[in-house]
A and B are shown apart, each in its own frame.
Chain A
């Protein structure tokens, strides 16, 4: 098992840091899966974290100038590591004016991701700041726990409103209630609702648009034959939604959510080089 990679371009480095910051806001620990072409940050709902799960995927070629990976075995040319993304985020914080960042998997006393940040220096030799981030190696037999979740059989799929507005509203609602109801229909309408003994607040978004998913046979559009006005709703932990929105530092190219009424809300946030899926289960 070997892994070494290098980022030289400052824009790529900042972009990579932003992604790690977003992941760090969502979960305390996660799985980093390395393949020849991609990196994945995975949170499985099997781990105790309130049932939310996450799948974040990026192409290594968009970020790294050098990327060498040798997996656990030839037929399974991948590496699965458990890590605390906040550690990686903190290491990368020191790199905002770096000349280069090298990441390497080491095993001196215990498995670590060694992040070496080469900083500019007035003298001829560079300054290097090294962070050793402890990681856990996930054995091959457990890899099945971390497969890509399938898109659920949703009742409604809708584009999210402007994230800034949604973030403000959800942050205020979080002061008022622990749970929030998201409901939406196939006519581009979404409501966010909270209700307690003291207060009820509903925010109405209109004209959001519904993504054009095709139905299973690929011939019909998803919306055909369905009641366009009928709302699908799910009541979820408001903190999870607030964390997802707070972690979005840059506006995604596409942001949408799929609602399975009373079961789960599936968020998909697409940026140019990275896709993030986040599943929040409904509260019974």
Chain B
């Protein structure tokens, strides 16, 4: 049951206006990309994309397509603003995070335009919370220029196979090394920590492997501290696609099913760690 938000003064319409019966459809996805305080929201008629970046090396995007919402309307071609993601999440989860069966928080989101705050109307039971979150000038986002034609290696795994591995990554290692190859070891995750090195191999004929398209042997290292937050997206997802391009840029795409069985995506892009020489590999 969508909440009725007051129309803006002077008859103008909201640039972005959306309703969601269950705010968790949005908050759980945003949590999967919440590793920095600030995020850029980008809305078009297709839906909402929320982007978080760090260190100019890693970018995470959460996509919530328009069909997930009960109502989703964008008045211009696109709407973009920067917002404090920690604050946004605290507001979206104002009535708590535990999901009691049968109860959910209804959400209405409105944005008037440049310089205006994002308005949230949340209702649970008969209690209504109104939030006004200040927005900022959007900053330029990284463009990883990752398209399917440039992909060298790609595998699709069932997430349950990777969850434990990622949760138990040796964080004393500075890097996570990913090897993908048409030959053994096919797909290998390696860390080099204080206690020693650890290798985790996934054979290409494993039950967990849904697709295996590796054309070239590639070994790349990524700063583990940057990739660790992707564990949140992995925990929510049922499948993950892992792709690399010729430069070693990594794309992780997570397919997430929400409480109503609808599919959403979260993706992480990461630059390879520059501080290694060919000799070390």
Contacts and interface: CB of A to CB of B under 8 A. Distances in A.
B127 interface: yes
Contacts of A164: 96
Interface stretch (A4-12, A60-68, A198-206, A272-280): A198-206
A226 B204 CA distance: 78
Nearest to A207: B126
Contact of B96 (A168, A199, A201): A168
B94 A198 contact: no
A175 B130 contact: no
Contacts of B130: 201-202, 204
A204 B87 contact: no
Interface in B77-131: 84, 86-87, 90-91, 93-96, 124-131
Given A168-B95, A172-B93, A201 B127 contact: no
Contact of A172 (B90, B127, B132, B133): B90
Given A168-B94, A172-B91, A175-B86, A203 B128 contact: yes
B116 to A, nearest CB: 13
Residue picked from A175, A199, A200, A203, most chain B C-beta under 10 Å: A199
A201 B117 CA distance: 12
Contacts of B128: 203-204
A201 B124 CA distance: 15
A198 B132 CA distance: 8
Nearest to A162: B125
A176 B129 contact: no
A277 B116 CA distance: 43
Given A172-B93, A176-B90, A199 B134 contact: yes
A217 interface: no
Interface in A124-172: 161-162, 164-165, 168-169, 172
Count class of interface residues, chain A: 20 to 34
B129 A165 contact: no
Count class of interface residues, chain B: 20 to 34
Interface in A165-192: 165, 168-169, 172-173, 175-176
A227 interface: no
Contacts of A173: 94
B215 to A, nearest CB: 48
Contacts of A202: 129-131
Given A165-B124, A168-B96, A199 B129 contact: no
Which DSSP category, helix, strand, loop or mixed, fits chain A's interface?
A: mixed
A205 B131 CA distance: 15
B126 A169 contact: no
A206 B126 contact: yes
Contacts of A175: 86, 90
Residue picked from A172, A173, A203, most chain B C-beta under 10 Å: A172
A206 B93 CA distance: 20
Residue picked from B84, B86, B95, B127, most chain A C-beta under 10 Å: B127
Interface in B122-171: 124-134
Nearest to B100: A164
Contact of A169 (B84, B129, B133, B134): B129
Contact of A198 (B87, B93, B126): B87
A207 B126 CA distance: 9
Residue picked from A161, A200, A206, most chain B C-beta under 10 Å: A200
Given A168-B96, A197-B134, A198-B134, A161 B127 contact: yes
B95 A201 contact: no
B124 A199 contact: no
Contacts of B133: 198-199
17 contacts: A169-B95, A172-B90, A172-B91, A172-B93, A173-B94, A175-B86, A198-B87, A199-B84, A199-B87, A199-B132, A199-B133, A199-B134, A200-B131, A201-B132, A202-B130, A202-B131, A204-B128
Interface of B: 84, 86-87, 90-91, 93-96, 124-134
Given A172-B90, A198-B133, 8 more contacts: A165-B124, A168-B96, A169-B94, A198-B84, A199-B132, A202-B130, A203-B128, A204-B127
